[in-house]
Structure 1
Amino acid sequence: MSDDRRRSRRPAVAAPTDDVASAPEAARLPGEHRGGFQREFTQPTPLLSSPEVGPRAEPAASQPRVEWAPAPEILPRSGAWALALAIVALLLSLFVGWAFPLGIAAVVMAVLALRRPWERRGVAVWALGLAALSILYSAGWLVWAAAQAGLLD
């Protein structure tokens, strides 16, 4: 392209009029320090003679200050138990229909495991899926047994 065509594509900017205020020479930049807090952030805070706390007793120099960390609390785990119960329920439901209470218990335990953030999610999902499958197989056996007994007409 020629230079004339390039110049014609650029927008024409008019000079500012008198009613437009121009920026002052020393305009502040965003985030620029404006004074105020002058103390370093890492400077220690004096607590020994604070008026709201009162004088603080110094620890005895002859005895060291020992603080024991609290024992970690034991968090309940139900994911592995839910998976084991779901496997047992699935194996039993392949042969009999009365294994559905085990499947329901496995579903409850798997849902509890899914709601706990410290449980392994994959184990809980497998437990939930196998427990639901065991309930489905048990329901199939119960429907077949009811049809054979003449309860479903």
Structure 2
Amino acid sequence: MTDPTSPDASRTPAPPFAAPAAVPSPAAPAAAPTALPGAHRGGYQRELTAPLDIVVQSQTEYPSVPWQPPATAPVSPPVQGAFSGWALGFAVAGLVFSFFVGWGFPLGIVAIATAILALRRPLESRRVAVWSIVLATLSIAYSALWLVASAQQAGMIN
């Protein structure tokens, strides 16, 4: 026999695939030896989908801060370029439409009227309004050329 206090006893190798020793958990009670697999062993006190206990604090527990409206309400800036942008859109659409057919002049007329309204407003872009008038006039001229050429081919104009 060997002495357990001898240096050779501490050098004994452990088996290569030894299972770790089971450490009992202090939180979970020990299971009964006859418990079936999947049986409740304690630990959880409520179902997983049970409602939680919610504590609602009353209004008096929060500090009281009276609401005050701002001294000056912020003024949103006016929309800039509304009429001039629409005028430019109508002018470009009328010009594109007048390249293909002569009945695009109403879009040019609407573009000129909208551009004149844009020139009378102080916050509109004058440059965009002037471009709208130029392109709308050009679209009306192209539409007029289409209508004159179509009338000549139909024999209405000699």
- With the shorter chain as reference, the TM-score category is 0.5 to 0.7
Residue 67 to residue 108, structure 1, CA distance change in 2 (3 Å) = same
Q: Tell me what 2:148 maps to.
A: 143
Provide Cα deviations, 1:34-93, integer angstroms capped at 9, x if missing partner: xxxxxxxxxxxxxxxxxxxxxxxxxxxx99785342644745721111111111111111
Q: Tell me what 1:110 maps to.
A: 115
Instruction: Give, in angstroms, the shift of residue 101 of structure 1.
Output: 0.5
Identify unmatched segments of 5+ residues in structure 1: 1-61
Q: Tell me what 1:130 maps to.
A: 135
> Structure 2 length normalisation: TM-score?
0.51
> Structure 1 length normalisation: TM-score?
0.53
SS of structure 2 residue aligned to 1:98? helix
Once the two structures are aligned, what percentage of the paired residues are identical? 50
Instruction: Give, in angstroms, the shift of residue 123 of structure 1.
Output: 0.5
> 1:67 is matched with which residue: 62, 67, 71?
71
> RMSD over aligned Cα, in angstroms?
2.4
Q: Tell me what 1:96 maps to.
A: 101
SS of structure 2 residue aligned to 1:151? coil
Alignment of 1:20-99 (within 5 A): 67-69=71-73, 71-72=75-76, 74-75=78-79, 77-99=82-104
The letter of the residue matching 1:100 is F
Residue 99 to residue 67, structure 1, CA distance change in 2 (3 Å) = same
Q: Tell me what 1:3 maps to.
A: none
Instruction: Give, in angstroms, the shift of residue 130 of structure 1.
Output: 0.1
